[in-house]
Amino acid sequence: MTQSSLTQDALTVSQLTSKIKNTLEPAFTNITLQGEVSNFKQQSSGHLYFSLKDSNSQISAVMFYGHASKLRKLPKSGDQVVVKGDISVYAPRGNYQIVVRELSPVGLGELLLKLEQLKIEIHRRGWFSKDHKKPLPHMPKKVGIVTSPTGAAFQDMLKVLNRRFAGLHIILNPVKVQGEGSAEEIASAIQQMNDHSLVDVIIAGRGGGSIEDLWAFNEEVVASAIFHSKIPVICAVGHETDHTIAEYVADVRAPTPSAAAELVIAEKEQLQKHVLQCEQQLIQNLKNIIRHGKHQIESIIRQPALASPYYLLGNWMQKVDDLKDQMNRAARQYHQQKKLQLEGIRRQLEALNPITQIIHYQQKFSSLEKAIFQAEKHHLLVLRQKLRSITETMEAIDPKNLLKRGYSILFDEKDGSVITSVKSMQKQQKVRMLVSDGQALAHVDEVIEGEESRDEKIQ
């Protein structure tokens, strides 16, 4: 293998340290160690640096200020202690160390080891799983309390429950909360409330104390009673640093007994607050709606369109008038049409009525009679006019009338014929001469033909 290939395959120190860190740290978390403190040093920052060793090995340890400030007493070199923490790789030095979260002397450490083992076992059983957590009841009417009747924790819970939820039924099952037999009493009290279905929710707890004082809530029998309880259990142990096994198993953990009591009535208080908030919100919303509506109305009123109602309604009013006129005209036309139709029907009926027909024929006969009369009258008038004309003509040619003008008519005396020409006259002939006022006898002395006769003779 050449030097160049070695160079290509080589890791940097940072890369190797990073790989070790990523492999080591996830595999060693939440571990508990026992050892002797050596090389103890406290920095001005409050962080603690020391080593833990036994007869064969040692490991570096660091406890940062956030956890170190909770220690009642700082360790010193030579102390036997039990620590809990996580393995961490410190890259600048390339070594691994334990970052300590909890530290206690060896006597207490053995107790913590026992607690850790029990936690592991209960965790393996699934008692810590959220799937087994029961929800707290809505508006509980009966609350069971498992605690010491003489402790301050019970009085604190009573004050909270009575002050905020008057009329709540509280049942106390008094027990010892520390010392020999306390764990069994706590477990038995929880079981009794389940056997008789006495309450809607159970608060099991006590005030704060050392880990030894709180040990009853780390016993398996208490954890079992809580896990198998059909009634939701709130565990309230008054401490902040450590959590007991009972708290991990319980359906709900409260930091203090008073907080547990507040959790029980939290829903009512929350509902009251919610109702109050809703009321305030509704009032505010109504005010906003009224204010907004007022602004809208004021804005609308200021619009020119609303200066007069006729601005908006004028066109519609005119349309109404137009429609009214159209309807009236249509109604009149319809009425007139129907009236004409009715009149036509009436006339048809009258025409079909025999009396009407008789009257019609009478009128027609009367008209014809008048027409005939007028025609006869006209005909008579024409005849009269013709007669008058003939009369006048006759009168004009009447010999008597001619005689009055100086004319006369000659008659042959013998036969009485009218002499119209000199050719029929002879000398010595007797003639009768008719004049207007009489007759006269005459004797023809000479016949003288007229000019026309002479002309005829000449020819």
- DSSP letters spanning 259-276: HHHHHHTHHHHHHHHHHH
Looking at the chain, the domain(s) classified CATH 3.40.50.10550 span 130-264
Mean pLDDT of the 411-418 span: 82
Give tens-digit pLDDT for 90-145.
Answer: 888 888 899 999 888 776 556 667 777 888 888 888 988 888 899 888 888 899 99
Residue range 268-294, pLDDT digits in tens:
666 667 778 888 888 888 888 988 888
Nearest 10 degrees: Cα torsion 397, 402, 404, 410: -130
Strands (E), 199-344: 201-206, 233-237, 252-254
Average of per-residue pLDDT values in the chain: 82
Assign domain 8-124 one CATH number from 2.40.50.140, 3.30.1490.20, 3.30.70.580, 2.40.50.70.
Answer: 2.40.50.140
Residue type, 78: G
State the Cα angle at 239 between 235 and 243, rounded to 5°: 60
Residue-wise pLDDT tens digits, 38-88: 999 999 888 999 999 988 899 999 999 989 988 878 888 888 888 899 998
Q: Where are the alpha helices (DSSP H) in 126-174?
A: 152-164
Whether the CB-CB separation of 424 and 443 falls below 8 Å is answered with no
pTM metric for this prediction: 0.42
Q: Among 211, 193, 210, which Cα is nearest to 202's?
A: 193
Average pLDDT over residues 410-420: 82
pLDDT score, position 331: 87
Please provide residue 326's backbone torsions phi and psi, each rounded to the nearest 5 degrees.
-60, -40
Q: 237 and 203 in contact (C-beta within 8 Å)?
A: no
**HSE on the CB side for 282, CA within 13 Å?**
6
CA distance 244 to 220: 11
Domain with CATH 2.40.50.140 in the chain: 8-124
Calculate the alpha carbon distances from 57 to 35, 85, 110 in Å.
10, 18, 20
What the block records as the tokens of 423 is: 């050719």
Q: Report the C-alpha gap between 48 and 79 in whole angstroms.
A: 14
Quick one: tokens of 417? 């014929």
> Distances in Å between the alpha carbon of 372 and those of 361, 366, 375, 379, 455?
16, 10, 5, 10, 61
- pLDDT, residue 190, reads 94
| Contact residues for 80 (Cβ-Cβ < 8 A; gap 6+) | 34, 35, 36, 37, 105, 106, 109
Query: Which tokens hold the place of 445?
Result: 């002395």
- Residues contacting 384, CB < 8 A, separation 6+: none
**Quick one: the chain helix, strand, coil %, rounded to 5?**
55, 20, 25
Beta strands in 177-323 (DSSP E): 201-206, 233-237, 252-254
For residue 62, list its beta bridge partners: 49, 99
Q: What angle do CA 317, 322, 326 make, to 5 degrees?
A: 145
Distance, in Å, from the CA atom of 431 to the CA atom of 242, rounded to the nearest integer, reads 200
Least confidently predicted of 25-29, 57-61, 81-85, 194-198? 25-29
Name the fold adopted by 130-264.
Answer: Rossmann fold (3.40.50)
Contacts of 349 (CB under 8 A, 6+ apart): none
How sure is the predictor about 457, in pLDDT bands with cuts at 50, 70 and 90? very low
Cα–Cα distances in Å, from 141 out to 10, 138, 169? 72, 9, 6
Contact 207, 257 (CB under 8 A): yes
Q: Show the CA angle centred on residue 50, arms to residues 45 and 56, nearest 5°.
A: 170
Measured distance CA(90)–CA(98) in Å, rounded: 10
